[in-house]
Amino acid sequence: MVTFGRLLTAMATPFADDGSVDYARARELANALLETGTEGIVVAGTTGESPTLNVEEKLRLFAEVKDIVGNRGTVIAGTCTYDTRESIHVSVEALRRGVDGILGTVPYYSKPPQQGLEAHFRAIADAIDGTPLILYNIPGRTAVNMAPETTLRLSEVPNIVGIKEASGNLDAIGTIIRESRPDFLVWSGDDAITLPILAIGGYGVVSVASHLVGQQISRMISSAIDGALDEATPIHHQLAPLIAALFATTSPIPLKYALARCGFPCGSLRLPLVDIDDRSAAIMDAALAKTQIDLPTLGAPAPALSR
């Protein structure tokens, strides 16, 4: 079974000036993430603006990122939508591009019942023929929460290897950690509570902040796993203002602003997302001023973006 690593990054999708996907910059960004502590890269997830990417763009992104990553890390493809048939089709095609695993987001908009969620993920897991599938529960985006009982039933499927949990419910997350099979892994889906999830037995994080502070998050995880909370806790508190700033408005708007401010611009956003507002930009600027950034630059720091 593939080992994905404890620090996974939900990678932003770079866009060129004409709004097309900038595949060359995507390769550069993936490489920079690996150099700063990331062990696996989630491509075309929420942070990658997946709802605005068409199937052809996603498939090329999977291929380009896997090509640059090679065996230095893993690539997890965000392939799943509210349509089970499409999710299966894109997942199978992603595997042909060499990805190491699939991220299965809870279907959004249609608000299926728990039985529908279970049937959806069982169908995808069966179709990908043993390839690892990581579930993703994020009720704030999908309008439906996958109950821990549903996750526990799905954890019995051999190639459903874990879950990215962004429900914010530590009781539910603890239940999953405690009652799932021993090798079923739980990654935090919320940077702000990675340390608490690690403290109750979580495995790692699928991070947004690791674009900017991957080395520091990696040290926090290692310290927590080693039981050195006196080392992990100060890092958690030091990074808290930056993490809050990354969600001052809809993600990944603040992230793309921060990448530009730190000298690694990845283009604008696709509608309906828009450039950052003045208030959120000020919050991010203040957080960046207090944070040691790990990401290498592509040149001189960018000037303040016009808004």
- CATH number of the domain residue 128 falls in: 3.20.20.70
Nearest partner of 153 among 186, 187, 114, judged by Cα: 114
79 in a domain, yes or no? yes
CA angle 220/137/199 to nearest 5° reads 30
Indicate the number of domains in the chain: 1
Spatial separation of the C-alpha atoms in residues 193 and 205, rounded to whole Å: 9
256 in a domain, yes or no? no
For the annotated catalytic residues, the residue numbers are 136, 164
295 in a domain, yes or no? no
139 in a domain, yes or no? yes
135 Cβ contact list (under 8 Å, min separation 6)? 104, 106, 121, 146, 151, 154, 160, 162, 163, 164
* Structure-derived torsion over alpha carbons of residues 169, 173, 179, 182, reported in degrees to the nearest 10: 180
Token pair for residue 147? Answer: 């109950």
Chain segment 217-272, per-residue pLDDT in tens: 999 999 999 999 999 999 999 999 999 999 999 999 999 999 999 999 999 999 99
**What's the pLDDT band for 298 if we cut at 50, 70, 90?**
low
Domain of 113, in residue numbers = 7-228
184 in a domain, yes or no? yes
Give this prediction's pTM: 0.94
Chain segment 149-203, per-residue pLDDT in tens: 999 999 999 999 999 999 999 999 999 999 999 999 999 999 999 999 999 999 9
Token pair for residue 251? Answer: 């993600």
Cα 150 to chain centroid distance, Å, stands at: 22
Spatial separation of the C-alpha atoms in residues 166 and 205, rounded to whole Å: 10
